[in-house]
Homo-oligomer: A and B are copies of this chain.
Amino acid sequence: MIEADSIDAVMRALADPTRRAVFERIVCANEITVGELTKGSGVTQGAISQHLKSLRQAGLVAERPDGRKVYYRAQPQGLAPLFDWLTHYHAFWRDRLDNLRATLKEIDP
């Protein structure tokens, strides 16, 4: 069984376009500060901090405070719930299609 809570947190976190963009930038930059993320994001530093909180709670990013800066990096295993969910339903589909094919072959071999 896929854990419903984590998939929920991950999906919700990635559903918002600006928050997803923040996540993508964090992935591409190995490590990046809040200030850098704010620059060119189109929103306020406060907004970025709030998005980071969501991403952190979803397990998608981790923080590394250094002095007065905080570096964020992506957490690879954070996408696991989403990955599992997708694979599960993909497998489901594939099996059903296989069964369908088999049945059709049985009827008309």
A11 to B4, CA, bound (A): 16
A8 to B8, CA, bound (A): 16
Chain A, interface size: which category?
20 to 34
Q: How far is the CB of A17 from chain B (nearest CB, A)?
A: 6
B90 touches A79 (CB 8 A): yes
Contact string against B for A residues 4-43, beta-carbon threshold 8 Å, 1 for contact and 0 otherwise:
1000100110110100100010011010000000000000
Interface-facing stretch out of A45-53, A64-72, A81-89: A81-89
Q: How far is the CB of A78 from chain B (nearest CB, A)?
A: 10
A92 touches B27 (CB 8 A): yes
Do A30 and B76 form a contact, CB below 8 Å, given A11-B11, A83-B86, A86-B86?
Answer: no
